[in-house]
Structure 1
Amino acid sequence: MKNGILICVLALLLAACQQPTVYVFSENLQDEQRNQLDAALKAQSLPYEYVELAIPSEFSEATLLLSSDKIYPKETEKLATIMQGLGYEPQVNYTTRSNHFYGDGNIGFYLKNAVAGTTFVMPKKLRTTQCSEDKYNDLAVKFANEHVEFTLSSGAIVRLSWEYLYGYLVIYYKNHSQTYSHSQPLINTPFGAKPSDTYRFTAHVNNPSWLDCSLQIVYMD
Structure 2
Amino acid sequence: MKNGILICVLVLLLAACQQPTVYVFSENLQEEQRKQLDAALNTQNLPYEYVELAIPSGFGEATLLLSSDKIYQKETEQLATIMQGLGYEPQVNYTTRSNHFYGDGNIGFYLKNADSNSQFVMPKQLRTTQCSDDKYNDLVVKFVNEHVDFTLPSGAVVRLKWEYLYGYVVIYYKSYSQTYSHSQPLVNTPFGAKPSDTYTFTAHVNNPGWLDCSLQIVYVD
Fold agreement, TM-score > 0.5: yes
Deviation of the 1:81 alpha carbon: 8.2
Cα distance in 2 for partners of 1:117, 1:58 equals 18
Q: Does 1:186 align with 2:186?
A: yes
Superposition TM-score, scaled by structure 1 size: 0.55
Cα distance in 1 for partners of 2:215, 2:187 equals 13
Q: Which runs of 4+ in 1 moved over 4 A?
A: 64-67
- For the residue of structure 1 that corresponds to 2:90, the secondary structure is coil
- For the residue of structure 2 that corresponds to 1:131, the secondary structure is coil
Indicate conservation of the 8 Å contact 2:184/2:196, yes or no: yes
- For the residue of structure 2 that corresponds to 1:63, the secondary structure is helix
Cα distance in 2 for partners of 1:80, 1:133 equals 40
Count matched residues. 144
Cα distance in 2 for partners of 1:82, 1:132 equals 35
Q: Percent identity?
A: 66
Indicate conservation of the 8 Å contact 1:168/1:181, yes or no: yes
Deviation of the 1:56 alpha carbon: 3.1
Cα distance in 2 for partners of 1:147, 1:187 equals 27
Superposition TM-score, scaled by structure 2 size: 0.55
Cα–Cα, structure 1 residues 159 and 83, in superposed 2: closer, same or farther, change >3 Å? same
Q: Does 1:157 align with 2:187?
A: no
- For the residue of structure 1 that corresponds to 2:170, the secondary structure is strand
Q: Which residue of 1 aligns with 2:81?
A: 80
Indicate conservation of the 8 Å contact 1:64/1:80, yes or no: no
Indicate conservation of the 8 Å contact 2:183/2:199, yes or no: yes
Q: Which residue of 1 aligns with 2:96?
A: none
| Cα displacement string for residues 183-215 of structure 1 (whole angstroms, at most 9, x for unaligned residues) | 000000000000000001111112101100000
Cα–Cα, structure 1 residues 151 and 86, in superposed 2: closer, same or farther, change >3 Å? same
Cα distance in 1 for partners of 2:83, 2:183 equals 28
Could you list the runs of 5+ residues in structure 1 that have no partner in the other structure? 1-27, 30-52, 68-75, 90-111
Q: Which residue of 2 aligns with 1:174?
A: 174
Deviation of the 1:114 alpha carbon: 1.3
Deviation of the 1:82 alpha carbon: 8.2
Cα–Cα, structure 1 residues 63 and 166, in superposed 2: closer, same or farther, change >3 Å? farther
Cα distance in 1 for partners of 2:161, 2:40 equals 34
Q: Which residue of 1 aligns with 2:113?
A: 114
Cα distance in 1 for partners of 2:122, 2:83 equals 30
Q: Which residue of 1 aligns with 2:33?
A: 55
Which structure has the larger Rg over C-alpha atoms? 1
Could you list the runs of 5+ residues in structure 2 that have no partner in the other structure? 1-27, 45-76, 92-110
Query: C-alpha root-mean-square deviation of aligned residues, in Å?
Result: 3.7
